[in-house]
Amino acid sequence: MAFTADEFELLTEKTSLFLIILDEQGNIHKANKRCEVLFSLPSDKIIGESIYTFLLDEDELKFKAVISGLSKSKSKLNTTLGFAKLVSDAILYIKFDLIYHKGKIYASGIDVTEENEEHNFLKTVFRLTKTGAWHYDPVHDQVYFSDECYHLHDLDIGTSITMEQALLYYPEASQERIKNYWDNLIKHGTSYDYIDQIITKKGKQKWIRVIAEAIKHNDKVIFINGSFSDITDQQNYIEQLKYNEETKKLALKGIRAGLFDHLIETNMVFYSLDFRKMLGLPLKEDFVPEETFRTMIHPDDVDDALQRHQDNLKKNGYHYFNYYRLKHLDGGYRHYEIYGYRKKNEKGETTRMIGNLIDVHQKKLNERTIAENQSRLLAMVNNGFAYTVLLNTAGEILMADENSVNIIKRDFNVDPTVTASRFIDVMPVNFRNTFAHEFNEALKGKTVKKEIERTTIKGSVQWLESKYTPIKDQENNVNSILVSFHDITEQKSAELAIKEAHIKEQELSSLKSNILSNFSHEIRTPLNGIITISNLLLLGEENPSDRKKLATYLDESKERLLATINNLSHYSEIETIQKNLNYLEVDMNYTVETSYREYRHFANSKNLEYILELDESCPSAIIDVDVFHTAINNIIHNAIKYTNKGKVIVNVKAKKTSIRISIKDSGIGIGKESLRKIFDPFIQESIGLSRKYEGTGIGLSLSKRYIEILGGKIKVISKLKKGTKFIITIPKNI
């Protein structure tokens, strides 16, 4: 019998179900009173709201997919969705049955929050503990894995698997044993819990713990529940502990050491069996009185050893160290070092000490032999080369002569005979450039020599010949490097004096030739012009136009001769100019522009593109304007002079503490050889009778000197036939 309208309305409002009608866009058209709990809104306020407003972010796409599925299949679907309550931080999980009808979606849901939270909790626990659940259906021989089980086997989630297939993941040696576990479980319901290895789908080796328990009906196994746990990390740790324990036992035998456990209150000491055998102590007694052990210490060592023992027990911290000689079965005494760890009570008193005695007898004998050999070697070293240092293969100082030790102490406040020091960290800076290379060559077994120039603490120059000599062991392997330094200052000074005299002689000869060549040309050419033109004028040239040209040529020759003489004058008076500078704060844009305008006509006469680029910030600097003009004029003049086509660009750019002026041209450029000596006086790109351009060759040298007088710097960048760029840097303040 169908419900009446009143009955249906009453049932709808009083039910614990959540009843909602939505359109395909998720907008709510109707909702029963129960939904007020879900949306934290009155029933009449819910209408028109979008359900997506209340869904958890992760469930929005899920719900859209469900709606799409409903509208296409017109069928019934179910899903669980999470809702965030607006008035609290609580989350409600609702399981909905959804039906599509005439463009509407009818949803009825029940609250599954508690079950869902428990499910999520279990998922989290399984993930964190790397544990997965599995079930087995004997009737259909089908294994059901949780997601974590699939992950553990490196399988895609949902992969179908039988028990026979699951068995193949175990090593072949384990498969028979695992199958016996399984058969007993199926036949007799015998639960099992074992640890074994598997090889995953991706070939990874993992340790797992497997637990299985049968569910019976009428004394017959009808279902099996179980779990897989990934215990690879724990099992590897256990295996490592076993390995470490074995290693410890082997190590104690290898270093001739014995363990002890000293109970301070009873003065009884436990010694390991091997050590009791070595010392001749009673084998049947685990504990030996301290007094018995004390009689075995060398008489000369007893008092000092006892004092160190008492001091150790009282000092702060927990570590213990002592040393003395012990009597052995052969009647002789051997050196031992004792290392321990102390346990204390609440008062800070040592109550127990555990540690080991290490046989260092051979070490002591070796140390004594080494000390004696070192004394002999040092006597030889201190009376040999200027400096001698013995290094190990890591470059650490093993031994050094007195002079080297004193220098290192003085310069680095380190005593290399006491503190381990790498030679490269305590050597003079001059030595470091080539040390690594020479040292590595010596490590290869090669003897290497190198000459080094250094400045002593007194400021004098010293030349040393360094020699790296590899020292080899019996197997012909390099085990140390002897670095010796021989003073060759007198020899080197003599060689350098001869070489410098020869170079100076060549330079003077070349300079003399350049000066004679340049000045015979630069003075003779304008003088010849003046004489020739004067003669023509005196002979009475009648044509006014020709007379005017001759007068112009005469004036040019005069100016050229004056320029040559002025350059010579400026160059010879540099020291006087430097003492009488007239510093003023000037606008550098205007100052550079003045020089630029002075050569505009010269640039135009050669049809060059002549460009000036000024800085918008109008930078200023404190300079001597005349000196600066002379310097920059020479460079601008040269740029135009050596550029036959293209352009010349003069640029001003302000920096933080300086002003940068660049003069760039597209002229003939400067060759590599000439570029190195471009600022030398009386040098030109072309010289002698074959030169293409006129000039004395002192302009750039003069410019460089003037820029440096003003505290600035000048550099040049150029390639032959690619143009030249001069960069001048002037400080804003002196």
Collect all residues with Cβ–Cβ distance below 8 Å to 592 and sequence separation of at least 6: 612, 614, 632, 650, 652, 661
Which band of pLDDT confidence, cut at 50, 70 and 90, is reported for residue 695?
A: very low
User: Bridge-partner residues for 620, per DSSP?
Assistant: 587
Collect all residues with Cβ–Cβ distance below 8 Å to 359 and sequence separation of at least 6: 255, 256, 257, 334, 335, 336
147 exposure class (CB count in 10 Å sphere: 0-12, 13-18, 19+): middle
**pLDDT value at 142 more than 70:** yes
At 67-112, the pLDDT tens digits run: 888 877 667 788 888 887 765 557 788 888 888 888 888 888 888 7
Give pLDDT, residue 360: 79
Give pLDDT, residue 591: 93
**pLDDT value at 634 more than 60:** yes
pTM of the prediction?
Answer: 0.30
SS (H, E, C) 235-300: HHHHHHHHHHHHHHHHHHHHCCEEEEEEECCCCEEEECHHHHHHHCCCCCCCEEEHHHHHCCECCC
Give the H or E element holding residue 657.
none
Q: Which residue has the higher pLDDT, 704 or 262?
A: 704
Collect all residues with Cβ–Cβ distance below 8 Å to 285 and sequence separation of at least 6: none
Would you give the DSSP letter of residue 147? H
- DSSP string for residues in 412-434: HS--TTTS--BGGGSS-HHHHHH
At 2-57, the pLDDT tens digits run: 677 677 777 777 788 888 899 888 898 888 888 888 888 887 888 989 888 888 88
331 exposure class (CB count in 10 Å sphere: 0-12, 13-18, 19+): exposed
**pLDDT value at 717 more than 60:** yes
Long-range CB contacts (< 8 A, 24+ apart) of 100-106? 100/70, 100/71, 100/73, 100/74, 100/75, 103/23, 103/24, 104/21, 104/22, 104/23, 104/29, 105/21, 105/22, 105/23, 105/24, 105/67, 105/70, 106/20, 106/21
Q: Which residue has the higher pLDDT, 568 or 154?
A: 154
Counting runs of H as helices and runs of E as strands, what totals does the chain give?
Answer: 23, 28
Average pLDDT over residues 578-607: 90
Average pLDDT over residues 261-280: 74
Cα dist from 358 to 306, 336, 337, whole Å: 18, 5, 5
Give pLDDT, residue 400: 82
Mean pLDDT (the chain) is: 78
Residues for the chain: how many in total? 734
Between 133-147, 218-232, 308-322, 521-535, the lowest mean confidence (pLDDT) is in: 521-535
Give pLDDT, residue 692: 42
Collect all residues with Cβ–Cβ distance below 8 Å to 188 and sequence separation of at least 6: none
Average pLDDT over residues 256-268: 73
**pLDDT value at 252 more than 50:** no
Handedness of CA 31, 33, 36, 37 (dihedral sign): negative
Give the H or E element holding residue 578.
helix 574-579
Q: In this structure, are strands 609-613 and 647-654 parallel, antiparallel, or unpaired?
A: parallel
Cα dist from 278 to 281, 297, 357, 491, whole Å: 8, 14, 12, 65
Give pLDDT, residue 559: 62
Vertex 231: Cα angle to 228 and 234 (nearest 5): 160
AA letter at 531: I
Average pLDDT over residues 664-672: 91
Average pLDDT over residues 601-605: 92
Average pLDDT over residues 718-732: 92
Give pLDDT, residue 561: 64
Q: Which residue has the higher pLDDT, 233 or 46?
A: 46
**pLDDT value at 60 more than 90:** no
C-alpha of 462 from chain center:
38
User: Bridge-partner residues for 261, per DSSP?
Assistant: 270, 354
Q: Which residue has the higher pLDDT, 277 or 570?
A: 277
CB 707: neighbour CB atoms within 10 A? 23
Cα dist from 1 to 10, 214, 435, whole Å: 16, 47, 106
Between 365-379, 465-479, 608-622, the lowest mean confidence (pLDDT) is in: 365-379
**pLDDT value at 368 more than 80:** no
CB 20: neighbour CB atoms within 10 A? 24
**pLDDT value at 557 more than 60:** yes
Between 265-269, 350-354, 587-591, the lowest mean confidence (pLDDT) is in: 265-269
Which band of pLDDT confidence, cut at 50, 70 and 90, is reported for residue 643?
A: very high
- pLDDT over 90 percentage in the chain: 13
Q: Do residues 605 and 643 touch, judged by C-beta distance below 8 A?
A: no
**How many alpha carbons fall within 13 Å on the CB side of residue 449?**
4
Q: In this structure, are strands 268-271 and 287-289 parallel, antiparallel, or unpaired?
A: antiparallel
The helix/strand/coil state of 384 is: coil
Q: Do residues 606 and 644 touch, judged by C-beta distance below 8 A?
A: yes
Give the H or E element holding residue 558.
helix 544-572
User: Bridge-partner residues for 334, per DSSP?
Assistant: 326
Task: Return the structure tokens found at 713.
Answer: 């710097």
Which band of pLDDT confidence, cut at 50, 70 and 90, is reported for residue 588?
A: very high
**pLDDT value at 620 more than 50:** yes
**pLDDT value at 251 more than 90:** no
Q: Which residue has the higher pLDDT, 318 or 119?
A: 318
Vertex 387: Cα angle to 385 and 391 (nearest 5): 115
Q: Do residues 580 and 643 touch, judged by C-beta distance below 8 A?
A: no
**pLDDT value at 693 more than 50:** no
Q: Do residues 34 and 15 touch, judged by C-beta distance below 8 A?
A: yes
**What are φ and ψ of residue 22, in 5° steps?**
-130, 160
The C-alpha atoms of residue 636 and residue 602 are separated, in whole angstroms, by 10
**pLDDT value at 276 more than 50:** yes
Q: Do residues 93 and 112 touch, judged by C-beta distance below 8 A?
A: yes
Instruction: Give the chain's radius of gyration (CA, Å).
Output: 50
Give pLDDT, residue 694: 46
The helix/strand/coil state of 573 is: coil
Q: Which residue has the higher pLDDT, 326 or 699?
A: 326
Give pLDDT, residue 128: 56
SS (H, E, C) 443-506: HCCCCEEEEEEEECCCCCEEEEEEEEEEEECCCCCEEEEEEEEEECHHHHHHHHHHHHHHHHHH
**pLDDT value at 715 more than 70:** yes
